[in-house]
Structure 1
Amino acid sequence: MLIDFTGKNVLITGGSRGIGKACAQLFASLNANVIITYKSNREEAEQTLATLNPSQKHSLFQLDQSDAAAIETFFTLVMQQYSHVDVLVNNAGIYLEHKVAEVSYAEWQQSWIETLNTNLTGVANLCYFASRQMIQQGGGKVINISSRGAFRGEPDHPAYAASKAKLNAMSQSLAVALAPHHISVHIIAPGFVETNMAAKVLNSPAGQSIKQQSPFNRVAHPEEIARLAAMYASPGFEFTSAGIVDINGASYLRS
């Protein structure tokens, strides 16, 4: 199957590193115009942008997606440069440790506020503006990156697990609401992936046991998630809307 995104505009949040970077590079290699957001490290984002196929129209935007007003401003700027947004890949997120038996109440509250504002409310707001644009243009694809943690829990990062479980429910609700507008919503739920966000855990003494959770004796590569995102973004996969696909190397099984 040949996938070609010529003339398509693909918005990838957190596109400067990890899964987002892999998505940006793959979509660009498939002839898409790629729009990348980053939170703070512009140098890193510019380095990623420089690796993309230069024959397309790529761009870079700073965005703190926990800020609702910033998201509205961001979409205004995007639509000044692009006439349409065909694919939204909601990849950006945070993974804050807050062990219930160890943190203070203030730390506990702050972890929940920051995580939900970024991983859930921020994604919801991005979906709002992207889907409203997609409705006007007659269709599009939304791909939300969830997590295995939504199902098995994250004892040291409970707000993260909760945010991803809520993300799944929201995504499925939007899939039903947006299908009449020819917009499909897809959910990808990886286990651990070799990214900067997971590096602290994977490089800790627990890293080897985490890899051994999978019979492949490793964690996922970002490129594996990107390939699945590109598949869902391509024509012909609309009827998988609302489905949650696991990509965890058989490290966690559910039915």
Structure 2
Amino acid sequence: MSLLEGKIALVTGAGIGIGRGIALRLASEGADVVINYRSSESQALETAERIREMGRRALTIRADVSKVREIRGMVQEVRDRWGGVDILVNNSAVDPRENFLDVTEEAWDQVIDTNLKGTFFCAQACAADMIKKGGGKIINISSVHGMTTMPRYAAYAASKGGINALTRQLALDLASHNIQVNAIAPGATEVEKFAKADPEHDKDVIGEQIPMGRIGYPDDVAKVVAFYASSGADFVTGQVVTVDGGSSTRFFLKG
């Protein structure tokens, strides 16, 4: 029997990048996967097709997780069609890099509403179904920027630090319902931005600064998500684990 056989997983921001890697890994472990996206419809549909090729069910739902009404509509659709969520992965995020003095109220709200508020209200909406089912797993995708960061990440770092604190709080609040809540903090990971001709995002340059000699890949994160989602983590809750090749162990990582 597969690790996650019979489980329903909802992954936000699953059309591209780390979210796509997580969705594919959970499907490979036997889960049926709901692929949430906001604007990357073609990529979400491609991810769904790859999951179906594995013999698992896939459902794509467009929803902006910065809006509570859309979150609740998405979770209701999963409830109506598949009976509710067993595993929630809060992955959707935005990360604009701006100098601290240039951050506008609009930019701040976009980051906090998507990254932190979205995580809170997705967890709240899905926890109701998990309680009825007798338990569940919530995995929040944080970042090393929530613990040690670089210039021009003020709003993003604040949102990810908030996710770390929220993870511990939800673990406490939901422990009596047999819902485990954990977070993963990736470091530099090869996603679409590394394909740009941008020296700041050159994966080889960044990889040279990481103790393990390379940047991460989405499946490096996804494999840890699969563990947290499994019965192997039934007594693990309130934890934030870094998946960064050791970069956060260093005093300074040039950004």
TM-score w.r.t. length of structure 2: 0.92
CA contact (8 A) 1:192 1:198 kept: no
Percent identical residues: 33
What value does the CA root-mean-square deviation take over the aligned residues? 1.7
The 3-state SS of whatever aligns with 2:44 is: helix
The 3-state SS of whatever aligns with 1:152 is: coil
Within the candidate set 230, 237, 240, 1:244 is matched to: 240
List per-residue Cα deviations over 1:187-244 (Å, max 9, x = no partner).
10111110125655x9424634422221222110101100000011110212221011
Q: For residue 92 of structure 1, report the CA deviation from its aligned partner.
A: 0.8
C-alpha distance in 1 between matches for 2:23 and 2:100: 36
What's 2:81 paired with?
Answer: 81
Q: Kindly indicate whether residue 57 of structure 2 is the aligned counterpart of residue 57 of structure 1.
A: yes
* Amino acid aligned to 1:184: Q
List per-residue Cα deviations over 1:136-173 (Å, max 9, x = no partner).
11100000010000111242121000000001101100
C-alpha distance in 1 between matches for 2:166 and 2:20: 25
CA contact (8 A) 1:92 1:119 kept: yes
The 3-state SS of whatever aligns with 2:36 is: strand
What's 1:44 paired with?
Answer: 43
Count of residue correspondences:
248
What's 2:98 paired with?
Answer: 98
CA contact (8 A) 2:167 2:239 kept: no
List per-residue Cα deviations over 1:86-136 (Å, max 9, x = no partner).
1001111000122124x2xxx522221100000000110000011111111
What's 1:34 paired with?
Answer: 33
Q: Kindly indicate whether residue 66 of structure 2 is the aligned counterpart of residue 71 of structure 1.
A: no
What's 2:253 paired with?
Answer: none
* Amino acid aligned to 1:108: T
CA contact (8 A) 2:193 2:201 kept: no
What's 1:157 paired with?
Answer: 153
The 3-state SS of whatever aligns with 1:37 is: strand
C-alpha distance in 2 between matches for 1:10 and 1:206: 31
The 3-state SS of whatever aligns with 2:139 is: strand
